[in-house]
Homo-oligomer: A and B are copies of this chain.
Amino acid sequence: MGVKERKLRQKEEVRCQILDAAWQIVKEEGWQSLSMRKIADRIEYTSPIIYGHFENKEALLQEFTRKGFVKLCEMIRAAYQAHIDNAPARLEAMWMAYWNFAFANRESYQLMYGVEMGCCTIKNGIPESEECAEMINSTIQEIIASGKHPDADPCLKYFTCWSVVHGLISINITRNPEALHQSDDDSPNLNELILKDAIAGIVSQMLN
Contact = CB atoms under 8 A, between A and B. Distances in A.
A104 interface: no
A16 interface: no
A165 interface: yes
Contacts of A182: none
B121 A198 contact: no
Contacts of A118: 174-175
B159 A163 contact: no
Contacts of A163: 163-168, 170-171, 198
A164 B162 contact: no
B160 A190 contact: no
A41 interface: no
Q: Please report whether the interface of chain A is mostly helix, strand, loop or mixed according to DSSP.
A: helix
A3 interface: no
A128 B38 CA distance: 40
B119 A170 contact: yes
A171 B159 contact: yes
B201 A120 contact: no
A115 B174 CA distance: 11
B115 A190 contact: no
Contacts of A191: 156
Contacts of A153: 190
Contacts of A82: none
A8 interface: no
A124 to B, nearest CB: 10
A202 interface: yes
**10 nearest A-B residue pairs (beta carbon):** A163-B167, A167-B167, A201-B201, A163-B168, A166-B167, A120-B171, A160-B194, A119-B170, A118-B175, A164-B164
Interface of A: 32, 115-116, 118-121, 153, 156, 159-160, 162-168, 170-171, 174-175, 190-191, 194, 197-198, 201-202, 204-205
5 contacts: A156-B194, A160-B168, A164-B164, A170-B170, A201-B202
